Amino acid sequence: MRAGLAVPSALLATALLLAGCAAAGGSADPSDDRRAPAAASAPPGATTGTPVGGTTAGAFSATDVAWLQLTVAMAERLLPVLDLVPARTRDPAWRGLAAGVADTHRGELSRARRLLADSGAPATNPHEGHDMPGMATAEDLAALRVADGPAFERLVAGHLRAHLGQAVRVARAEQGAGTNPATIALAAAAVREGTAELARLDRLDRPARAP
């Protein structure tokens, strides 16, 4: 096996490129993204179920922290979608659903942020700018801003179904694999509320097929 490109010119190009890359930031700044330095270090071997810190009763595992961070990131992505609803549709049923889901998620968001602070994990959003499953992308949001009426409702329904489905899926996983009781309780509430919201959504908008 060769570690390099197939011809010498490529070798040179790669060497120059790597040198340039090192100068451009790879070497100079190891934190090559916007993440803040970690507040705490995980102990060696930290992984599923291993405590990583925390001051409240019941230590936080890596799973708890990962789920809390994901929950915050997903809620922060969903709320701008829901905020568009009152301006883009007059249907009171859709407006009511959006308001209810937004309320639930604002509550979850503040509980998740408090628990993250308790856990001692970095306060920065490790998923900022990252499109994860169930998240509306910047392009999705742009499309929503120019749609209205039934076309808008169909788009919102799609995003809401993808978000709620993914949120319930990962909250169930946290219920099964998490450690911190308050975090597990928040996950249980997320499963309960998410399932109820999916049922409300299905009454408003019958899914044609799985998203």
Partner 1 sequence: MDRAATLSGTRRRLRLATAIGALLALLGTYVVSTTTRADAAPGVNAIRVAEFPADCPYSHRLPDDPIIFPGLPGASHMHSFFGSTVTNAHTTLPDLVNSTSTCNPRVDTSSYWVPTLYRNDVPVEPTIVTFYYLGEGVRSDIVARTEPIPQGLRIVAGNARATSPDDGSIARWSCLHAGQVPPSKNFVTCPAGTMLESYLDFPQCWNGRDLDSPDHKSHMAYPVNQACPASHPVPVPKLRQVLRYPVSGDPSPLRLASGPGYTMHGDFFNAWPVAEMERRVRDCIRPVIKCGADGRPL
Kindly list the residues in this chain that would bind partner 1 in the complex (CB under 8 A). 1-11, 13-14, 17-18, 21-22, 25-28, 30-33, 35-49, 52, 61-63, 65-67, 70, 121-122, 126-133, 166, 169-170, 173-174, 176-178
Query: Minimum distance from CB of 81 to partner 1 (Å)?
Result: 19
Of the two residues 153 and 174, which places its CB atom closer to partner 1 in the complex? 174
Q: What angle do CA 39, 44, 49 make, to 5 degrees?
A: 85
Query: Minimum distance from CB of 190 to partner 1 (Å)?
Result: 13
Q: What angle do CA 95, 110, 77 make, to 5 degrees?
A: 55
3-state secondary structure of 51: strand
Of the two residues 97 and 121, which places its CB atom closer to partner 1 in the complex? 121
Q: How far apart are CA 204 and CA 92, in angstroms?
A: 11
Q: How far apart are CA 81 and CA 199, in angstroms?
A: 19
Query: Minimum distance from CB of 74 to partner 1 (Å)?
Result: 10
Most distant CA atoms of the chain, gap in Å: 67
DSSP assignment letter at 87 = H
Of the two residues 114 and 127, which places its CB atom closer to partner 1 in the complex? 127
Which segments within the chain are labelled E, that is strand? 51-53, 60-61
Query: Minimum distance from CB of 157 to partner 1 (Å)?
Result: 21
DSSP assignment letter at 26 = I
Of the two residues 157 and 168, which places its CB atom closer to partner 1 in the complex? 168
Of the two residues 26 and 181, which places its CB atom closer to partner 1 in the complex? 26
Q: How far apart are CA 97 and CA 126, in angstroms?
A: 29
Query: Minimum distance from CB of 85 to partner 1 (Å)?
Result: 26
Tokens representing 55? 């001051």
